[in-house]
């Protein structure tokens, strides 16, 4: 059977079952199952070649049924590119979004004057942020924590997959507040150049409005940020300053509604943050939406 025929059948079936991005989904499934570069899938040479291998057809079929069930394409093919990384993807670990790449970019700019940095990431997920920072900054070292053991395990796999020295990143299975408490009690002299996090920030009432495939397959713990979406953000800002070096900063990805709220909290000193941090700055993402905040000690 010609690959073009397989491709058109996939697209037609995805359209019939109302699967988002049917063409994109079909191309990714063919790329992964046939083990060919993504850029070469949609070419005459590939499309008009034959695929008669039972193994390949079975792989395509398995992926088709997963995608038809609304599983995100990243989980279906089991990997995804993020900046200069190739990341293994497994449900329910949160899929890194395009906006998060801009958080890495922001941290790179803020730290460009520093030769050596030790950072802390809260909520490592796949490892996208920490591994990008390590790969793009040879003198960086870090600690990354996550309350979900399956996130730590996947991040470790991605660390090895991308051939980053494991001694440069310590992975700890621990929740945010417990880490701060342990660090202050057991290792009070340890301080970081910066803390970075893409914490759960969706207000609880809005989780049910997320895309069906997000609600069905991605970890709710990594999405639900409490009544106002700021439960973990507040913990980080309340306790993070104690383990930051002077001149250090906390960089966070937040909901589009949060920057104005956080700015008001800071200026009114609602939670005492103005006593802990010199200033707070707010940044937009690539879509010109309020998305990132940075608190400087």
Q: Which residues pair with 249 in a beta bridge?
A: 194, 296
Check whether 210 has a pLDDT greater than 90: yes
**Please, is 177 exposed, middle or buried when counting C-beta atoms within 10 Å of its C-beta (0-12, 13-18, 19+)?**
middle
Structure tokens at 199: 């914490």
- Rounded distance between C-alpha atoms, residue 131 and residue 285, angstroms: 21
Q: What is the pLDDT of residues 277-295, one digit of tens each?
A: 999 999 999 999 999 999 9
The string of pLDDT tens digits covering residues 46-63 is 787 888 788 889 999 999
**pLDDT at residue 66 above 80?**
yes
Closest CA to 179 of 169, 168, 190: 190
Please tell me the predicted confidence (pLDDT) of residue 67.
Answer: 98
Question: Phi then psi for 296, rounded to 5 degrees?
Answer: -105, 130
Q: What percent of the chain has pLDDT over 70?
A: 100
- Given a cut of 90, whether residue 188 has pLDDT beyond it is no
Least-confidence region, from 28-32, 61-65, 186-190: 186-190
**Percent helix, percent strand, percent coil in the chain, to nearest 5:** 50, 20, 30
Q: Evaluate if residue 172 carries a pLDDT over 80.
A: yes
According to the model, what pLDDT value does residue 187 have? 87
């Amino acid at each position: 059977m010609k690959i073009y025929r397989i491709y058109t059948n996939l697209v037609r079936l995805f359209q019939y079952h109302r699967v988002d991005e049917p063409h994109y989904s079909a191309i990714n499934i063919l790329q992964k199952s046939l083990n060919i570069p993504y850029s070469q899938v949609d070419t005459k040479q590939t499309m008009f070649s034959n695929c008669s291998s039972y193994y390949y057809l079975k792989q395509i079929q398995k992926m088709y049924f997963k995608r038809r069930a609304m599983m995100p394409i990243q989980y279906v093919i089991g990997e995804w590119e993020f900046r200069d990384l190739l990341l293994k993807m497994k449900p329910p670990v949160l899929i890194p979004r395009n906006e998060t790449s801009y958080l890495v970019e922001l941290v790179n700019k803020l730290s460009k004057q520093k030769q050596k940095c030790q950072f802390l990431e809260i909520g490592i997920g796949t490892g996208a942020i920490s591994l990008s920072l390590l790969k793009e900054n040879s003198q960086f070292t870090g600690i990354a924590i996550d309350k979900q053991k399956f996130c730590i395990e996947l991040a470790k796999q991605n660390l090895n997959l991308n051939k980053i020295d494991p001694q440069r990143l310590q992975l700890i299975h621990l929740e945010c507040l417990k880490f701060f408490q342990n660090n202050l009690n057991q290792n009070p002299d340890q301080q970081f150049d910066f803390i970075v996090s893409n914490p759960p920030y969706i207000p609880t009432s809005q989780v049910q409005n997320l895309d069906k495939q997000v609600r069905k397959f991605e970890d709710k713990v990594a999405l639900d940020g409490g009544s106002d979406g700021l439960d973990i953000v507040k913990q980080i800002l309340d306790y993070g300053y104690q383990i930051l070096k002077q001149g250090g900063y906390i960089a966070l990805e937040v909901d589009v509604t949060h920057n104005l709220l956080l700015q008001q909290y800071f200026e009114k000193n609602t939670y005492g943050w103005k006593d802990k941090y010199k200033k707070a700055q707010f940044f937009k993402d690539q879509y010109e939406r309020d998305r990132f905040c940075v608190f400087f000690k």
